[in-house]
Amino acid sequence: MKYDWTRTEAWGKTAAVFVAGLACYLAFSAFCGVCLPIGQNAAITVGVLGGFPVWVGAMCYAMLARSARRAWGVLLGIALILGGSAVLMSPAFS
């Protein structure tokens, strides 16, 4: 497959890898820490360790997406859904 990205496209995808991928990782970790029905320490551990494959998958998706705009939209959408669910399910919110 030939990649003929413009400079803007390449920088947009690279920024999506770092920023939006990290947002997905943090949202997944928070979601697991709040929503898993196990002890809090174990849930946080599962979230942090299980979030690494999520982060790698997000990075791969950002580079393979059709455009930088799509990569940003999908990854931030996933982060927003996971992070919003974690906030709504947290004991401090209810």
Q: How far apart are CA 83 and CA 49, in angstroms?
A: 17
Write down the domain spans for the chain: 20-89
CA dihedral 87, 90, 92, 94 (to 10 degrees): 90
Confidence (pLDDT) at 2: 64
Rounded to two decimals, the pTM is 0.85
Query: Which residue is associated with the tokens 């939209």?
Result: 73
pLDDT tens column, 5-46: 788 888 999 999 999 999 999 999 999 989 888 888 898 898
Q: How far is CA 58 from the centre of its chain?
A: 6
- Is residue 81 predicted with pLDDT exceeding 60? yes
Confidence (pLDDT) at 94: 63
Instruction: Output helix, strand, coil percentages for the chain, rounded to the nearest 5.
Output: 80, 0, 20
